[in-house]
Chains A and B, each alone.
Chain A
Amino acid sequence: MKKGVMRPGHVQIRVLDLDEAVKHYADLMGLIEMDRDDQGRVYLKGWTEVDKFSVVLREADEAGMDFMAFKVADEATLDSLAQDLRDYGLELTELPAGDLKDCGRRIQFTAPTGHHFELFATKEQTGKWGVSNRNPEAWPRDAKGMKATRFDHCLLYGDDIDGVLDIFTNVLGFQLVEQVVEPDGNKIAIFMACSMKEHDIAFIRQPMKDKFHHASFFLESWEDVLKAGDLLSMTDTPIDIGPTRHGLTHGTTIYFFDPSGNRCEVFSGGDYTYPDHPVITWDAEQLGKAIFYHDRELNERFLTVVT
């Protein structure tokens, strides 16, 4: 049952070299640089996003994800969800408004897989980039590179994905949309949504804590995914796999790496979800096809390369 969590709000990604990272996310992927703060963090977003930013890059001495945030309906919802998380037994950290530039207060918790998540209700709305709210044109003519339209979801690796599933579905109102299940019923992958999408957050079970598999960005078409691959070759950017199709979600996809080794995805298409849809289940023996629908087998990097 929906509890007022609307959508992925932002992801803060650690990078080893900020300038190289900005080139990657802005010039190559086409995210728009919106701002910087006095900590040196860079704020970006896809051109269709109405809030001011959805990606924050922070230079650090290790790669990976600091946290991922979800935007909730309003401040009252934020308070009630915070109480629900406390009642569940989680320790919360409240970050004041302005800790992230032009973002309201955020409630942060650590999931059983070690990942940090946060909820917020307020962020400055600058509107879609390059198009107006009144009689809008179809797209901005000066978007760059892959022209990524929005931050869409993250896939994370961790151990206790059952614990994560419990919190996201029962406390935060997410829907389990797809899963990969072993013969004994043990879940090895969970794809969850707070929207009509096939996933807003996904986890794969691996014996590790707090690992970042990828952040994903939406493109308009399969041809855009193909051309993203062309741009990766033109810029000599390491491609992980693709362009291809996923079995899970059925989206068309390409995986590649940012200059610090964080995996990125751009994808298009994919299935949709209504609250009455039954859970889609993939058998673990079909994992290869579930992840890469054409190859029907995992490349070694899919399971071993994370930040």
Chain B
Amino acid sequence: MTSLNVTVVDKAKDTEVAFDAKSDQPVLLSIRSVVGSPIPVGCKGGGCGVCKVRVLEGNFSAKRMSKAHISEQDLEENVVLACRIIPETDLKVEILAETPEEDKS
């Protein structure tokens, strides 16, 4: 396990926040030590879509994510759920807030 750097870009708030992420677990689970998570936290299981982000830079592996929130095309465009991606390098991600109307199910 190594410690990697994850930068979260929030265009709505015009902020960039960085935190240390472990290389052996999903990005969102590394945030527990950060007061006031920079990424919205939902079910932590790939099911609810609340923590949707676009990976702008860096490599990752991904566990299965609910198709109701992440389509094949999303995956091709590096749109993923932060609770299901495990970083392989430092990452830069952008928050994509999902409203209920956007649910693809």
Binding site for B on A (CB under 8 A): 16-17, 61-64, 206-208, 210, 238, 257-263, 301, 304-307
CB contacts (< 8 Å) of B43 on chain A: these are 63, 238, 257, 261-263, 305, 307
Q: Give the distance to chain B from A155, nearest Cβ to Cβ, in Å.
A: 15
Q: A206-B100, A257-B43 are in contact. Are A305 and B48 (CB under 8 A)?
A: yes
How long is the Cα–Cα vector from A239 to B45 in the complex, in angstroms? 12
Q: A261-B42, A305-B42 are in contact. Are A61 and B64 (CB under 8 A)?
A: yes
CB contacts (< 8 Å) of A64 on chain B: these are 47, 66, 68, 105
How long is the Cα–Cα vector from A301 to B47 in the complex, in angstroms? 13
CB contacts (< 8 Å) of B46 on chain A: these are 16, 63, 260-261
How long is the Cα–Cα vector from A238 to B46 in the complex, in angstroms? 12
Binary flags per residue of B69-105, CB closer than 8 Å to A gives 1, else 0: 1000000000000010000000000000000110101
CB contacts (< 8 Å) of B65 on chain A: these are 16
CB contacts (< 8 Å) of A207 on chain B: these are 100-101
11 extra A-B contacts, CB within 8 A, seeds A64-B68, A257-B43, A263-B43 = A16-B45, A62-B67, A63-B46, A63-B48, A63-B68, A64-B47, A64-B105, A259-B45, A301-B41, A304-B50, A306-B48
How long is the Cα–Cα vector from A64 to B41 in the complex, in angstroms? 18
Binding site for A on B (CB under 8 A): 41-48, 50, 63-69, 83, 100-101, 103, 105
What are the 4 closest A-B residue pairs judged by CB atoms, nearest first?
A261-B47, A261-B43, A261-B45, A63-B47
Q: Is the CB of A61 within 8 A of B100?
A: no
Q: Is the CB of B100 within 8 A of A261?
A: no
Q: Is the CB of B103 within 8 A of A208?
A: yes
CB contacts (< 8 Å) of A262 on chain B: these are 43, 45, 47
25 interchain pairs, CB-CB under 8 A: A16-B47, A16-B63, A16-B65, A62-B67, A63-B46, A63-B47, A63-B68, A64-B66, A64-B105, A208-B103, A210-B105, A238-B43, A238-B44, A257-B43, A257-B44, A257-B47, A261-B42, A261-B44, A261-B83, A263-B43, A301-B41, A304-B42, A306-B48, A307-B47, A307-B68
Residue of B nearest to A157 (CB): B100
CB contacts (< 8 Å) of B42 on chain A: these are 261, 301, 304-305
Residue of B nearest to A20 (CB): B45
CB contacts (< 8 Å) of A208 on chain B: these are 100, 103
Q: A207-B100, A304-B50 are in contact. Are A61 and B67 (CB under 8 A)?
A: yes
How long is the Cα–Cα vector from A300 to B65 in the complex, in angstroms? 22
CB contacts (< 8 Å) of A238 on chain B: these are 43-45
Q: Give the distance to chain A from B67, nearest Cβ to Cβ, in Å.
A: 4
How long is the Cα–Cα vector from A304 to B44 in the complex, in angstroms? 13
Q: A262-B43, A307-B43 are in contact. Are A62 and B66 (CB under 8 A)?
A: yes
